[in-house]
Amino acid sequence: MSTIVQLQSITKVYGIGDIIVNALSGVDLTVNAGEYCSIMGTSGSGKSTMMNIIGCLDRPTAGRYYLDGIEVDTLADNELARIRNQKLGFVFQQFHLLSQLTAWENVMLPMIYAGVPVQERRDRAREALVRVGLEQRLQNKPTQLSGGQQQRVAIARAIVNRPVVLLADEPTGALDSTTTEEILDIFGELNASGMTVVMVTHEADVARRTHRIIWFKDGKVLESNLSPKDVALVSAG
């Protein structure tokens, strides 16, 4: 089984001068292809910080990070942009769709930066939207879609460039419980078809649906391989 994400002694220190925050203090973590993990932990424990580093949106202060066999912590900004475009899919709590574009155009966006030809772009974006069940909403602007539908567009956008890992930081944080279920169904289906998924969540019910739970505390991995049965343990602290 191939390794997709490998973090070695990753630290992240915020603040220059008097106030120093050790957001991550020595994180070792490995995620293999096809895994479906959730990351849990108290607020401020460093989950988002780590997701941003895994997503190549941020750089670690120290440590090594291999993504799909490439050591990314040494890459230049331009190369990181390319990695984000080609190997990573990101889903945010706030959806972050561009309001002036239709659902279809939003999904095409990553392919524009990838230099995919127009026709292929349109076809692939449509396929991705079909996968998340939005074939009826291609021409709708984000304001004409419900929260759950917007998040599905965001998922389609995240998977359209066929990333090696799909990262989601509290993807259901802004959704009600029924919509949360729909989104989790989509993540489940994507994982079933081979997509590696890493998701941050506060909700035990969400974590329970993943296959592996990583427990974060004070910038460290407390437990890196809990099973869904152990969720109660994490929730209890």
Partner 1 sequence: MDWLESGNMAVKTLTSNKLRTGLTMLGMIIGNASVIAMIGIGQGAQRLASEQFESLGPNVLFVTPGSQGARQRTTFLPRNLVWDDAKAIAAQVPSVASVAPQRQSQLSITYGGKNRTTLVMGTAPEYLVVRDFDVAKGRFINNVDLERNTRVAILGSEVAEQFFEGKDPIGSKIRIRNISFEVVGVLQPKGSFLGNNQDDAVYIPLTTSATSLTGRTSPFGLDLTFISISAINEASIPAAEFQITNLLRRRHKIINEDDFTVQTQKDILRIVGTITGGLTALLAAIAAVSLLVGGIGIMNIMLVSVSERTQEIGLRKAIGASEQDILMQFMIEAVMLSAAGGIVGTGVGIGGILLVAAFSPLQAVVSPLAITLAVTVSGTIGLVFGVFPARQAARLDPIVALRSA
Ligand X SMILES: Nc1ncnc2c1ncn2[C@@H]1O[C@H](COP(=O)(O)OP(=O)(O)OP(=O)(O)O)[C@@H](O)[C@H]1O
Which parts of this chain interact with partner 1 (CB under 8 A)?
52, 55, 57-58, 77-78, 81-82, 84-86, 90, 92, 94, 96, 98, 100-101, 109-110, 112-115, 157, 161
Rounded to a whole number of angstroms, the minimum distance from the CB of residue 200 to ligand X is 7
Helix (H) or strand (E) holding 112: helix 103-114
Among 18, 43, 143, 193, binds ligand X (CB under 6 A): 43
Say whether residue 52 binds Mg ion (CB under 5 A): no
- Specify burial of residue 10 (Cβ count, 10 A radius: 0-12, 13-18, 19+): buried
Using an 8 Å Cβ cutoff, are 147 and 175 in contact?
yes
| Eight-state DSSP code of residue 173 | T
Pairing state between β 36-41 and 196-200: parallel
Cβ-based neighbours of 189, under 8 Å, separated by 6 or more = 131
Name residue, tokens 């427990």.
Answer: 215
The neighbouring-strand residues paired with 5 are: 31, 67
Among 14, 70, 177, 189, binds ligand X (CB under 6 A): 14
Say whether residue 157 binds ligand X (CB under 6 A): no
Nearer to partner 1, 114 or 233 (CB): 114
Say whether residue 210 binds ligand X (CB under 6 A): no
Q: Which residues bind ligand X (CB under 6 A)?
A: 14-15, 21, 23, 41, 43-49
Q: Which residues bind Mg ion (CB under 5 A)?
A: 48
